[in-house]
Amino acid sequence: MLDHLTVVSHPLVQHKLTIMRDKDTSTASFRKLLREISLLLAYEVTRELPMTTRRINTPLQPMDAPAIDGKKLALVSILRAGNGLLDGILELIPAARVGFVGLYRDPETLQPVQYYCKLPDHLDERLSIVVDPMLATGNSSVAAIDLLKAQGAKNIRFLCLLAAPEGVARMQEAHPDVPIVTAAVDSHLNDHGYIVPGLGDAGDRMFGTK
């Protein structure tokens, strides 16, 4: 079992994250770094997958070689910023099934409002990995995981780039069975629900919007 919270302290992850946090980092660099970091985080979040063996023939002899067991993974991106993490992870796990949950934060209440949901089938038989770069209040991730569970998902992990203590606590309270993998847990949320020190609005930074 993964711990409830895993902070990936690998020097490559931390170095890339520092460049991403810098407000002078360009959109192109931010996007490229997010892709690179998502590969490293995907490596961590896919630890301890059930394994089986497959009979193959090496050039020298037959062998029972290790292979991942079970149905294809489901990757679920919380739109729109989740797509930045999704692209990189799909490079590593190209056969994964992909779902999307569209949620926006009401700027006054900070509560998530759902506008889209399309999830892979047979979620009860798959490991689902929900991706969103920023675990801020936790409201969107909790709502997205509620949707997955309503469609039968039992084995869920959550992957983000940055988390706030408030979001980690909210997830722990609502979904204690869902391990979180992140590159850092920052100090706090400000009055607008932004992670401090954070990196700003992840969607705006990766898509070059304001």
Residues with active-site annotation: 105, 109, 201, 204
Q: How far is the CB of 178 from ligand URA (least distance, A)?
A: 19
- 134 binds ligand URA per the rule CB under 6 A: yes
Least gap, CB of 53 to ligand URA (angstroms): 42
SS3 state of residue 156: strand
* Residue in 82, 99, 112, 198 binding ligand URA, rule: CB under 6 A: 198
Give dist(CA 89, CA 87) in Å, integer: 6
- Nearer of residues 147 and 202 to ligand URA, judged by Cβ: 202
187 contact partners, CB below 8 Å, separation of at least 6: 164, 165, 196, 197
In the chain, DSSP finds a helix count (H) and a strand count (E) of 6, 14
* Using rule CB under 6 A, residue 136 touches ligand URA: yes
202 binds ligand URA (CB under 6 A): yes
5 burial (CB, 10 Å; 0-12 / 13-18 / 19+) is middle
Q: Which is nearer to ligand URA, 30 or 100 (CB)?
A: 30
140 labelled ligand-binding: yes
Question: Which is nearest to 76 in space by CA: 139, 5, 13, 147?
Answer: 147
82 vs 101: CA distance, rounded Å: 9
In the DSSP assignment, the letter for residue 38 is H
Binding status of residue 87 toward ligand URA by CB under 6 A: no
Site string for ligand URA, 158-197 (x = CB under 6 A): -----------------------------------xxx--
Torsion, CA 17, CA 81, CA 128, CA 157, rounded to 10: 40
Binding-site residues for 5-phospho-alpha-D-ribose 1-diphosphate, in ranges, read 80, 105, 132-140, 201
**Binding residues for ligand URA, per CB under 6 A?**
81, 134, 136, 193-195, 198, 201-203
Binding-site residues for uracil, in ranges, read 195, 200-202
